[in-house]
Amino acid sequence: MPSPPLCPPAPCRLKPRRGRGHDPRRTTCLALCLGGLLTSAVTAQGHQRADLPPLTPKPDHTRVLPGHELDTAVIKFLDGSRVRLQGGSLSGTDPQAEAVSLMLEQLGVQIRRLFPQPDAVLDAWRARAESRSGEALHDLTLFYSLHLPAGLDLGALCDQLNRFEVVRRAWPVGSVSDPVATFVAGAGDYSGQQGYRGPAPVGVDADFGNAYSGGLGTGITIADVETGWTDDHEDIAHKAQGNYIGLCCAPYPGDHGTAVLGELVGEHQDTGVRGLVYDADILLSTHQGFAINIPAAITNAIAALTAGDFLVLEVQCQDAPLGPHPCEWDDAIFASVRLATASGIHVYSAAGNGGHDLDDPSYGAKFDRTVRDSGAVIVGASQGSTLTAASFSNHGSRLDLHGWGSGVTSAGYGDLFNGGLRATYTALFSGTSSATPIVAGAAVQLAGIHSQVTGSAIAPKELRSLMVNTGTATTSGPNIGPRPDVRAAVESLGFPIVNVSGTLVPGGSYTATSNGAPGDGCVMVFGTGISDVNPISVPPYGYFMLAGSLTRKKSGALDLVGQLSYSEAIPADPNLSGTTLGYCLTWQRFLSGQPGIGAFGNVAAIEIQ
């Protein structure tokens, strides 16, 4: 694309404003000169807070890369400048704001709010989040999107805007895509099916998490930020159908979002897949396929969520020299993600499938946690069930956790089963696309369990640390973080857990043992059934999940090693082989000083071999 003419060495004579029908070359020169005169004559009155996380410094020259959209850019103004968009023009405490506005008008550039919420709402969010987290947050009211007319040089525009002192930075916007890797249909091993649900080290032990009070995702909302949902698919419609928020318009058909939600909330039924947290609620916030819309999609989700809820960022972006990469490389996306986590919302973001080291100097330390930290969990991918980093997965010190990156069974696509648009299933979902909902699902389980046991929500960074410290480490390859282990995380917290041991055969015996803090009161209950859909809420102790015939087996205080147990004989009936004799649930009253009043623990199945 040819560059528009720059200002000649001689001073320009300013012309009156004119409409878009005039010569764009004359307008470009006029506006560039106008910007040059005012940037040299006026000192910006805003100030950059020293405690804010660093954003990208202004470059000497803006690089326009193949992944950039040539008709859009983002501009952020200096903190304290109070720049506002009113009636299509910019104004603020700094007189340079009007100069920027005039320049953009002369060039035919449209300026729009990047975040759709009113300034007062964004200001209130920031104030509450800063108070809650003790972290300094960027002012989202100072971000705007720029929409260029055809023929205008994107790099030259950004460079000229960056000459204004009131402009914190102007930069090009990249493209967005699904972080899914490509595999050949039919190449997958379907025998494992949803092995990622199973016990560690192969899976995240989601079955244990689902058996614990709060571990079904009940009462937690997950906002999925991406596109590609068949919201009336038979396995996700119970949670997803019609639940679009933010940008217009529903529906957004496709398979990527369908597969993500299959992993998270696939309905608990006899057909299809079982989601990791199938009782969680779902919201769908689209970016409509444009990276410029991701910040708005994030704040649209924030508007609908509360502390303790989750935001899954199922996208990868292409606007750095090495791409694709996590989208928080972009300063506006970083700022909105940081607002979410500071507000108590857990954010889980795909690392992307570029195979890049995010510690590479070309990223400008944006993925160096010691330089800046959005609070999000960035998720890498392993080679399926193995604990080896996938070659396509981005990696580096910023990656926190990983999940399966290939051979994932979920809803959508149709390579495993195709019963029509609403009844398709895959065993080949892949990439950091498939890995992210596995990690997020495990996190939702732990957040729900923590809330039920302690009576309070766990903070995003606290949950991140818990999962990293208790996860299963990879065995080879670059760093993608450990694989979550829900049981190990719960055990590390000292929460009540009941285990079943013994000679689990007809004619044998079993022992059910409740574990917790010494001195806590405990009641052990046996039931012939389990309510793992819509369990009974018993505030403030959580969800009671036993069903059928109930028997109180034992009660008392946990002994000096924190245990209470009972034993029973198993009838010598050969027909019991391969069946579940029943279930044991523990209720503990916390008398030992740990947070909370008391809670139900997990339901342990007595499975006869």
Domains belonging to the chain, first-starting first, are 24-173 (no CATH), 177-492 (3.40.50.200), 494-607 (2.60.40)
For residue 11, the model assigns a pLDDT of 29
Whether 9 shows a pLDDT value over 50: the answer reads no
pLDDT band at 376 (very low <50, low <70, confident <90, very high): very high
Nearest to residue 105, comparing CAs of 174, 15, 187?
15
- Total Cβ atoms within 10 A of residue 560: 8
For residue 388, the model assigns a pLDDT of 96
Rounded to whole angstroms, the Cα distance separating 90 from 170 reads 15
pLDDT band at 414 (very low <50, low <70, confident <90, very high): very high
pLDDT in tens, 172-224: 999 999 999 875 444 343 335 799 999 999 999 999 999 999 999 999 999 99
pLDDT band at 5 (very low <50, low <70, confident <90, very high): very low
Q: What are phi and psi of 45, to 5 degrees?
A: -100, -5
If residue 333 lies in a helix (H) or strand (E), which one and from where to where? helix 331-342
pLDDT in tens, 58-82: 999 999 999 899 999 999 999 989 9
Whether 431 shows a pLDDT value over 70: the answer reads yes
pLDDT band at 532 (very low <50, low <70, confident <90, very high): confident
pLDDT in tens, 222-252: 999 999 999 999 999 999 999 999 998 777 7
For residue 48, the model assigns a pLDDT of 59
DSSP three-state, residue 577: coil
Whether 35 shows a pLDDT value over 70: the answer reads no
Distances (CA, A) of 56 to 40, 59, 335, 361: 23, 8, 12, 13
- 228 phi-psi bin (left φ>0, alpha ψ -120 to 50, beta other): left
Nearest to residue 107, comparing CAs of 43, 170, 44, 41?
170
pLDDT band at 40 (very low <50, low <70, confident <90, very high): very low
The pLDDT > 70 percentage for the chain reads: 90
Mean pLDDT of 270-284: 94
The two tokens of residue 502 are 């013994």
The two tokens of residue 57 are 């410094």
**What is the reported pTM?**
0.91
For residue 340, the model assigns a pLDDT of 98
**Is residue 245 exposed (0-12), middle (13-18) or buried (19+ Cβ within 10 Å)?**
middle
- Mean pLDDT score of the chain: 90
Rounded to whole angstroms, the Cα distance separating 566 from 459 reads 36
- Strands of the sheet containing 221-226, edge to edge, are 244-245, 281-286, 221-226, 310-313, 346-350, 377-382, 401-404
Higher per-residue pLDDT: 251 or 411: 411
- The answer to whether residues 353 and 393 touch, using CB atoms and an 8 Å cutoff, is yes
Concatenated DSSP letters for 375-435? SPEEEEEESTTSSBB-TTS-BSTT--EEEE-SSEEEESSSSSEESSTTSEEEEEE-HHHHH
- Total Cβ atoms within 10 A of residue 258: 27
- Total Cβ atoms within 10 A of residue 16: 5
**Is residue 152 exposed (0-12), middle (13-18) or buried (19+ Cβ within 10 Å)?**
buried
- The answer to whether residues 62 and 172 touch, using CB atoms and an 8 Å cutoff, is yes
The two tokens of residue 359 are 């510690």
CA terminus-to-terminus distance, the chain: 72
Nearest to residue 442, comparing CAs of 535, 312, 564?
312
For residue 1, the model assigns a pLDDT of 35
Whether 89 shows a pLDDT value over 80: the answer reads yes
pLDDT band at 280 (very low <50, low <70, confident <90, very high): very high
- The answer to whether residues 302 and 295 touch, using CB atoms and an 8 Å cutoff, is no
Q: Which residues contact 597 (CB under 8 A, 6 or more apart)?
A: 455, 540, 541, 589, 590
Whether 23 shows a pLDDT value over 80: the answer reads no
